Amino acid sequence: MKILVLNVGSSTIKYSLFNDRKCLERGLDDRVRDYEKSLKNILKKVNNFDIIIHRVVHGGELNNCLIDDKVLKKIKKYSEYAPLHNIPELKIIKICKKLLPKMKQFAVFDTRFHRTISEKSKIYGLPYEYYKKGIKRYGFHGTSHKYISIGLKGKTISCHLGSGCSITAIKDGKSVDTSMGFTPLEGVLMGTRCGDIDAGVVIYLIKKIGVNKVDDLLNNKSGLKGLCGYSDFRDVSKKLNEKRVKKAFDVFVYKIIKYIGAYVAVLNGVDNIVFTGAIGENSSLLRKEVCKNLDYLGVRIDNKKNLKSEKIISSKSSEVMVMVIKTDEELMMVNEILK
């Protein structure tokens, strides 16, 4: 079976063509202005396939499934929670339906893997009626976290670090807790998102500058970009001699350490710590700085292996296995649907 996988962002379309589980081709349009035009260009390159699989960030309680009108309505509903992701994803699904009306389309949801987290983790300290209405923690990057957990036994802490960042506590392949919540805004500091913040600050800012400006501020102008002016971690890594940039780097590292520590407590120990995502896979300095603060767990890394970004970077004397695993969300999506 030939499968086209589409991973759509606010200004990007990543596409992959698979023959069953074998990837034949990958590509990226990272300057999308007209989604239909961009998709038509992709379809000129890959025009022989049997089904389409879409990555959809927020699916609420939905399972991975064939997309029909009922599913489209649900994706639209959850667009309010994750507008930067669900709105362009919904747009592409509709364009595919228009251009290829007989083609079966499937959705794989980032939220699906985190359906196993406990109720006590999902609930916010709001009146219980809001929890019943769906205001709770859902979690994201589930496809990535699930992919890296394959074959790992025991207690794992997965650090997906890229432009968006999330950390997940996993026990025997199942998500126990995760840093992102009701939206992808919660959790550790990110490229342009603030991560965890006192709700009182949000209320204060709304009164000062209004809802729309606060939305833009927290999602697009905060995080590393807000602290030092650079949202791309590659730029941050090159400018560490600048005081503000070094401060932003230190804050980022601190937030990661803090979540790892919290999840060690949640899991009552840890067997594996995994770094993945563009930053997790490529920044040996960040991995070194994070692991340096985990020596109380018996974490020891081999500096040579770390510099080479080998799969296992922990030393033989380490009591915790520390790994660098290149994530493959697209392959995971194919696995999910072929099952």
Question: What gap in Å lies between CA 119 and CA 139, rounded to an integer?
Answer: 13
Encoded tokens for 151: 């074959």
Question: What gap in Å lies between CA 70 and CA 67, rounded to an integer?
Answer: 8
Beta bridge partners, 321, equal 272
CB 43 within 8 A of CB 27: no
Question: What gap in Å lies between CA 293 and CA 253, rounded to an integer?
Answer: 10
CB 231 within 8 A of CB 248: no
Which residue among the candidates 34, 110, 172, 271 is catalytic per the annotation? 110
Q: What is the DSSP string of 21-76?
A: TEEEEEEEE---S-HHHHHHHHHHH----SEEEEEES--TTPPSEE--HHHHHHHH
Active site residue 110: yes
Question: What gap in Å lies between CA 86 and CA 58, rounded to an integer?
Answer: 7
Q: C-alpha 115: how far from its chain's center?
A: 15
Report, as residue numbers or ranges, the catalytic residues.
Answer: 110
